[in-house]
Amino acid sequence: MKKVLQILAIAMLLPVYAIAQSSDWEFQTVIPPDTSIDNSHGAAFDAAGNLWTAPYYSSATDDGPRNFVYCYDTEGQPCEDVPYVHSVAAGDSTFYFAPITGLAADENGDIVISSHRYRNAAGDWVGEVSAYILKIDHTNGELLDYYEVTSGQAQHIAIDGQGYLFHSAVFPGHPIGILDPDMNELAVVTDNRSGFARNIVVNREGTRVYQPTDFSTEFVDGDDTTTVSGRVEVYEGDVFSGYALIDTMRFIGMDPGASAVCPQTGVVYFAASGTGGAPLTDPDRWDALTVYGFAPDDQGEYQVVDEVMWHFGDADPYNPVYRTMAISSDGFGMVLGAFDRGGLPGIQYFERDELLVIDTSVDEVLSEVPAGYDLGQNYPNPFNPATQINFEIGQSGMVTLKVYDVLGREVATLVNDNLQAGSHTASFDATSLSSGTYIYTLEANDIRMSRKMMLVK
């Protein structure tokens, strides 16, 4: 196998053999602290920065089996307003969730749930022909809209920065569909997707769709044929003009059971732990315990720039079969969830202090900021209502310093001018803004850096 793959890599000049820089992700806590959630099957961060997550299987209640979607803060405590939902009012009736196959947050930070069929009031699993995608208000748990998938196939979901929803079936032979922000059918990425799949991911711009599958690829080297399982199908285009399959080989031999994209950096993450109960991942190329972060460029190349691994503590390493991954809208938080956890906690939360620094001129993520460039932490922080931001640029040129909310919406432009090389200070007055976390981003001479700050009123 190794011989065939090495020949293939040389022919295609795959950059994924690059060694990743050391990760800045630090384990914070188990969610919830009592480690009660098993068979994790979806997660999303809402507009308030809270984590919504769900197990696949139901829980017993006095009213019969119920499938719960839980809400926690990043310390693992239940949300005060909506600690959980297992049903929503739909007109004069009540819709009870069935097994949960995916969660996502829309462009407003509300939560979208993929339910494989539904349950009746007694808890029976019914609805032989449909799966459902439901959007709920993150502030009160009420139903905002829904879409019925009449194929009956369990769906996994992803949403771009404009609110377009991409949904794909677990089993092959079905389309990757696209819904508009109002949950209306819009288009398809492809009519007939291959391979068994557990997840789908789309970049913030909606221009690249990544579909991991367990699809097997055969390679012929003379009289020898080698079969390699697992790949990621990469589609490029847009929701109005359509998409084309541009790549099936960059991630060959990987069998990702979970994936996510960082909204701030565009780095796309894949967990190589397997779409099923055991990884099909090629051990000559990928470590099944590792989540890999890849930086894409406009030429369709990828470089391994980040990685994170399940926190085992004092336990022996065990393949956790990642089935859940989500990154907060500010890019500083990540959650990993395991379906088969081997007795370990089912959901883990990680944080980083700084985002990866991207050199946009070469689409490269740098392990170190170039000499002469620095973006300092605002002071004071937390602040109310004003704060100052110090920064340095290594050479003269056009500089922008902008502030965004946690949903990525621009709320202020502090600098937009040609500046001389050296140290500078910008002031930010947030009198008109609400309390919360904000991201400030410096762009200068193709260097992009970001930090977060907290407004407390």
- In tens, the pLDDT along 385-409 reads 999 999 999 889 999 999 988 767 7
- In tens, the pLDDT along 424-440 reads 999 999 999 988 888 89
Location of structure tokens 């500089």: 399
pLDDT cut 90: percent of the chain above it: 51
Q: Is the pLDDT of residue 340 over 80?
A: no
- In tens, the pLDDT along 22-71 reads 358 999 999 988 766 778 899 999 999 999 999 999 999 999 999 999 99
- CA geometry: angle at 131 spanning 127 and 137, to 5°? 115
Instruction: Annotate 112-154 with three-state secondary structure.
Output: EEEECCEECCCCCEECCCCEEEEEECCCCCCEEEEEEECCCCC
Residue 33 and residue 36: Cα distance in Å, rounded?
8
Confidence of residue 243 (pLDDT cuts 50, 70, 90): very high
Query: Which residues 6+ apart lie within 8 Å of 314 measured at CB?
Result: none
CB 269 within 8 A of CB 327: yes
Residue 217 and residue 202: Cα distance in Å, rounded?
23
Of the candidates 300, 274, 217, which has an alpha carbon nearest to the alpha carbon of residue 5? 217
CB 102 within 8 A of CB 153: no
Residue 302 and residue 234: Cα distance in Å, rounded?
12
Kindly state the DSSP code that residue 79 receives in the 8-state scheme: P
Q: Is the pLDDT of residue 284 over 80?
A: no
CB-CB neighbours of 386 under 10 Å: 13
* b/e code 326-337 from CB counts within 10 Å (16+ = b): bbbbbbbbbbbb
Location of structure tokens 């089912």: 346
196 residue type, one letter: F
38 residue type, one letter: D
CB 111 within 8 A of CB 134: no
Residue 269 and residue 296: Cα distance in Å, rounded?
11
Q: Two tokens at 434?
A: 């609400």
Location of structure tokens 């700084």: 354
Average pLDDT of the chain? 85
What are 359's strand-pairing partners? 364, 447
Q: Is the pLDDT of residue 362 over 60?
A: no
Q: Measured on CA atoms in the order 262, 267, 268, 271, is the torsion positive or negative?
A: negative
The pLDDT value recorded for residue 146 is 94
Better pLDDT: 239 or 340? 239
The pLDDT value recorded for residue 363 is 40
162 residue type, one letter: Q
Q: Two tokens at 56?
A: 């696949």
Query: Which residues 6+ apart lie within 8 Å of 74 measured at CB?
Result: 28, 29, 31, 49, 50, 51, 333, 349, 351
Residue 427 and residue 438: Cα distance in Å, rounded?
14
